[in-house]
């Protein structure tokens, strides 16, 4: 009977709905029932924040790979992450998405992009962060080796 009850506590609901503050276990949730209770403005804030996060990871990886290709033109990344797709994060672009009915699926898609790679669940932001750090470390090492060899 209560298996679809996602209302843990009135205070949690208030903080989430009105202030965009989620408990840690719900911070990156894709639960449609939970997300649809948020206000329109809170959904827009989450879309902008999550979009900036994933776009930042993509930029870091792309920049590190460009540095690696400058040293070794034959370099190709094998992480398989989609670096070409950019999420809209500006308030006018997010506002043009419309009402809550369209914002909730967009937020779910964005969070799914953060958590999945080619249909395989990889676990929240850890994969993007790890790939970005590894690419940056490889670029730094390659630049140091190239500078030392000159």
Whether 92 and 18 have beta carbons less than 8 Å apart is answered as no
Task: State CA 85 to chain mean position distance.
Answer: 12
Backbone angles phi, psi at 120, to 5 degrees: -105, 125
Arithmetic mean of pLDDT, 103-121: 74
The pLDDT value given to residue 99: 85
Place of tokens 């006018």: 92
Cα–Cα distance, 81 to 64 (Å, whole number): 14
In a domain, 5, yes or no: no
Please report which confidence band the pLDDT of residue 1 belongs to, taking 50, 70 and 90 as the band edges: very low
d(CA 19, CA 17): 6
Please report, in angstroms and rounded to a whole number, the separation of the first and last CA atoms in the chain. Answer: 72
Residue 35: how many CB atoms within 10 A of its CB?
Answer: 23
Range of the domain at 20: 10-148
Q: Is residue 3 domain-resident?
A: no
Q: What is the pLDDT of residue 32?
A: 84
Render pLDDT for 6-17 as a digit per residue (tens, 0 to 9).
Answer: 555 667 667 766
Of 21-30, 59-68, 103-112, 126-135, the one with minimum mean pLDDT is: 21-30
What pLDDT does 35 receive?
85
Number of domains observed in the structure of the chain: 1
pLDDT > 70 in the chain, percent: 77
In a domain, 4, yes or no: no
Flag whether 58 is in a domain: yes
Q: What pLDDT, on the 0 to 100 scale, is given for residue 126?
A: 60
Q: Residue 27: inside a domain, yes or no?
A: yes
> Average per-residue pLDDT in the chain?
80
Q: What average pLDDT does range 52-77 have in this prediction?
A: 92
Residue 67 confidence (pLDDT) above 80: yes
Mean pLDDT of 19-23: 69
Q: Is residue 22 in some structural domain? A: yes
Average pLDDT over residues 73-85: 85
Q: 83-92, 107-116, 138-147: lowest mean pLDDT where?
A: 107-116
Distance CA 128, CA 85 (A): 14
Residue 109 lies in a domain: yes
């Amino acid at each position: 009977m209560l298996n679809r009850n996602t209302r843990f506590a009135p205070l949690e609901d208030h903080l989430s709905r009105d202030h965009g503050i989620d408990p840690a276990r719900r911070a990156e949730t894709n639960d449609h029932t939970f997300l649809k209770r948020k206000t329109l403005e809170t959904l827009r804030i989450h879309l902008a924040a999550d979009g900036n996060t994933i776009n930042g990871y993509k930029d870091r990886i792309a920049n590190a790979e460009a540095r690696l290709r400058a040293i070794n033109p034959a370099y190709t990344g094998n992480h398989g992450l989609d670096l070409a797709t950019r999420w809209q994060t500006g308030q006018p672009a997010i506002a043009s998405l419309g009402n809550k009915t369209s914002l909730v699926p967009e937020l779910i898609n964005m969070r799914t992009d953060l958590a999945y790679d080619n249909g395989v669940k990889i676990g929240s932001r850890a994969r993007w962060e790890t790939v970005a750090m590894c690419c940056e470390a490889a670029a730094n090492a390659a630049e140091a080796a190239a500078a030392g060899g000159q």
